[in-house]
């Protein structure tokens, strides 16, 4: 019985460890530098070019390829939402349209 309990604890510990090292990230609320109202996301407000947003997203996900870039409003801020793919994995990277900083990187 003690052996079963120890094996259960060891299995749980390994599962938690695997989840902790997972590349998935829960970004939570986004805080950017250009506040916008919903539907106000226009290219003339962005201070960062699309090419720079792509470069920032690629730097955050080495080896991936960009599949889509959209200028959008996220949590009231103007951002680029960059979708990337690598092997069978997909990634979403949120880049601040004002500073070029990567605000969020998630693996789908």
Question: Is residue 17 a part of any domain in this protein?
Answer: no
* Prediction pTM value: 0.75
Domain that holds residue 66: 27-107
d(C-alpha 25, C-alpha 15), whole Å: 17
Total domains in the fold of the chain? 1
CATH number for position 100: 3.10.450.40
Tokens standing for residue 5: 């309990």
Question: Is residue 31 a part of any domain in this protein?
Answer: yes
Query: What does the pLDDT profile of the chain (108 residues) look like in tens digits?
Result: 554 443 444 333 333 333 333 334 468 899 999 999 877 768 899 999 999 999 999 999 999 999 999 999 999 999 999 999 999 999 999 999 999 999 999 998
Question: Is residue 2 a part of any domain in this protein?
Answer: no
Question: Is residue 85 a part of any domain in this protein?
Answer: yes
Predicted local confidence at residue 33, as pLDDT: 98
d(C-alpha 46, C-alpha 16), whole Å: 40
Going 61 to 67 to 73 to 78, the CA torsion angle's sign is positive
């Amino acid at each position: 019985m003690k052996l079963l309990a120890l094996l259960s604890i060891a299995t749980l510990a390994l599962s938690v460890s695997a989840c902790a090292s997972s590349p998935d990230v829960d970004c939570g609320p986004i805080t950017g530098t250009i506040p916008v109202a919903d539907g106000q996301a226009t290219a003339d407000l962005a201070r960062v070019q699309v090419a720079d947003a792509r470069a920032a997203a690629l730097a955050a996900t080495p080896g991936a390829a960009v599949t889509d870039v959209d200028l959008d409003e996220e949590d009231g801020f103007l951002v680029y939402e960059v979708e990337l793919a690598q092997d069978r994995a997909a990634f979403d990277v949120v880049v601040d349209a004002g500073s070029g900083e990567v605000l969020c990187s998630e693996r789908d």
